[in-house]
Amino acid sequence: MVFSPELVALGKYLAGEFENKQQALAEPAWYVNLRLWQRPIPLFREDSITLFAEQASVIDLDRPYRPRILRLKHHQSNSQQLQVEYYMFKDITAIAGASRHPELLQQIKPEQIEFLPNCTLNIQIQTLSSNNYRFQAFPASDREQRERTSRPCSFIYQGNTYQVALGFVVTSEQLETYDKGIDPKTGKAIWGALLGPYRFTKRQDFSSELFIVE
């Protein structure tokens, strides 16, 4: 499958090591200084660009958390629509820290991960100039969610159910993440981007590691 210029650009914008240092210095009470890694992996190459993601506090880089997989692809029934599917690892401890050890990423197998059916995001594309885009990821429409299931984006880890709200905006210059943890009893956000998005700038570019069919 040949990837569209928009899908290629989305993959390139997201592939990298990011940090929100300036935001954390300006508003330390609300924003932790984070390092975020999103690194290409050789899964689903036939129709997708796939990234391994995890993050850590800059004061504790050896303890990364929230390992996950982002699968960037064209919508199955509408090639003009881009989507990102999220996957989680069955064994989180086995993969922790892999973003800084690329050799481990090459060994990830499909059987190590599981698809999160309620966590697929649609991508809105805004063309800023030639080959320059703004991408906004937001939850699939209510209708699409109902067709899958009535449950919100959630996953089970060590017997506990966790609910999350996902979203991001990315350009060639900045990544904003809107991820929040949700209390399933009250529906209120309890961690993450409570007062607005985390604003990251790219420290290191990993786009050269992408497998792209153009």
pLDDT digits (tens, 9 = 90+) for 118-128: 899 999 999 99
For residue 173, being part of any structural domain is answered with yes
For residue 214, being part of any structural domain is answered with no
Task: Place 148 in a pLDDT band, splitting at 50, 70 and 90.
Answer: very low
Question: DSSP secondary structure string, the chain?
Answer: -PPPHHHHHHHHHH-EEEE-HHHHHH-TTT---EEEEEEE-SSSTTTEEEEEEEEEETT-TTS-EEEEEEEEEE-SS-TT-EEEEEEEES-STTTTTGGG-HHHHTT--GGGEEE-TT--EEEEEEEEETTEEEEEEEEPPHHHHHHH-S--SEEEETTEEEEEE--EEE-SS-EEE--EEE-TTT--EEEESSSS-EEEEEEEE-GGG-----
Give me Rg for the CA atoms of the chain. Answer: 17
For residue 181, being part of any structural domain is answered with yes
pLDDT at 87 over 90: yes
For residue 174, being part of any structural domain is answered with yes
For residue 46, being part of any structural domain is answered with yes
For residue 180, being part of any structural domain is answered with yes
pLDDT at 142 over 60: no
**What is the pTM for the complete model shown?**
0.91
Task: Place 64 in a pLDDT band, splitting at 50, 70 and 90.
Answer: very high
Task: Place 145 in a pLDDT band, splitting at 50, 70 and 90.
Answer: very low
Q: Which domain holds residue 62?
A: 5-201
Residue 102: predicted pLDDT: 85
pLDDT digits (tens, 9 = 90+) for 34-63: 999 999 999 999 999 999 999 999 999 999
Task: Place 214 in a pLDDT band, splitting at 50, 70 and 90.
Answer: low
pLDDT at 179 over 50: yes
Average pLDDT over residues 179-208: 92
Phi, psi (rounded to 5 degrees) for 23: -65, -45
> In this structure, what CATH number is given to the domain that contains residue 179?
2.40.128.590
For residue 49, being part of any structural domain is answered with yes
pLDDT at 147 over 50: no
Tokens of 151: 């449950």
Strand partners, 54: 37
Residue 149: predicted pLDDT: 44
Please state the domain count of the chain. 1
Residue 41: predicted pLDDT: 95
* Amino acid identity for residue 171 in this structure: T
Strand partners, 157: 160
For residue 95, being part of any structural domain is answered with yes
Residue 104 or residue 151, greater confidence:
104
- What are the Cα distances from residue 36, in Å, to 60, 79, 104, 118? 13, 29, 17, 23
Tokens of 43: 């899964």
